[in-house]
Structure 1
Amino acid sequence: MNTMISGTGSDVLFLHGGGVSGWMWRPVMNQLAGAVRAIVPDLPGHGTSGSIDYVSHSDTVARLAELIRDRAPRGAIVVGFSLGGQLAIRLASEHADLVRGALIVSAETKPAPAQGATLALLKLTAPLAKQEWFAKLQAKQLGVPGAYLPQYIRDSRAMSVETLLASVGENISFTLPAAWSAFTGPAGIVVGAGERKLMHESARLTHAALPHSTLTVAEAADHDAPFTKPKLIADHIRQILGQLEPKHAA
Structure 2
Amino acid sequence: MYVATSGPADAPPVLLLHGGGVAGWMWDSLRERLETDYRVIVPDLPGHGHSADEPYVSHAATVAALARLITTPVTVIGFSLGAQLSILLASHYPQLVTNAVIVSAQAKAMPFTGLTLAALGVSAPLARQRWFAKLQARELFVPPHQIEDYIETSAGVTKQSLLAAVGENMRFELPAEWSIFDGRVLVMAGTKERRVMHESAAAIHEAQPASTFTLVEHCGHGIPLQRPDWFSDRVREWLAQA
Q: TM-score range by the shorter chain?
A: over 0.9
Alpha-carbon distance in structure 1 between the residues aligned to 2:3 and 2:35: 19
- Unpaired segments ≥5 residues, structure 1: 245-250
Is the contact between residue 47 and residue 155 of structure 1 (CA under 8 Å) also seen in structure 2? Answer: yes
Aligned partner of 1:12 in structure 2 is 14
What is the aligned-residue RMSD (CA, Å)?
1.2
1:33: how far off? Answer: 5.5
Is the contact between residue 31 and residue 231 of structure 1 (CA under 8 Å) also seen in structure 2? Answer: no
1:32: how far off? Answer: 3.2
1:90-239 equivalent positions in 2, closer than 5 A = 90-239=88-237
Is the contact between residue 181 and residue 209 of structure 1 (CA under 8 Å) also seen in structure 2? Answer: yes
Alpha-carbon distance in structure 2 between the residues aligned to 1:217 and 1:109: 16
Is the contact between residue 5 and residue 41 of structure 2 (CA under 8 Å) also seen in structure 1? Answer: yes
Structure 2: which amino acid aligns with 1:88?
S
Aligned partner of 1:247 in structure 2 is none
Deviations 1:180-229 (Å, cap 9, x if unpaired)?
A: 00011110000011000000000000000000001101112100101122
Is the contact between residue 31 and residue 230 of structure 1 (CA under 8 Å) also seen in structure 2? Answer: no
Structure 1: which amino acid aligns with 2:112?
A
1:60 to 53, 59, 62: 62
Is the contact between residue 143 and residue 225 of structure 2 (CA under 8 Å) also seen in structure 1? Answer: yes
Is the contact between residue 29 and residue 232 of structure 2 (CA under 8 Å) also seen in structure 1? Answer: no
Alpha-carbon distance in structure 2 between the residues aligned to 1:5 and 1:198: 34
Alpha-carbon distance in structure 2 between the residues aligned to 1:28 and 1:221: 17
Aligned partner of residue 195 in structure 1, secondary structure? coil
1:67: how far off? Answer: 1.0
Is the contact between residue 129 and residue 157 of structure 1 (CA under 8 Å) also seen in structure 2? Answer: yes
Structure 2: which amino acid aligns with 1:93?
S
Is the contact between residue 191 and residue 200 of structure 1 (CA under 8 Å) also seen in structure 2? Answer: yes
Is the contact between residue 94 and residue 181 of structure 2 (CA under 8 Å) also seen in structure 1? Answer: yes
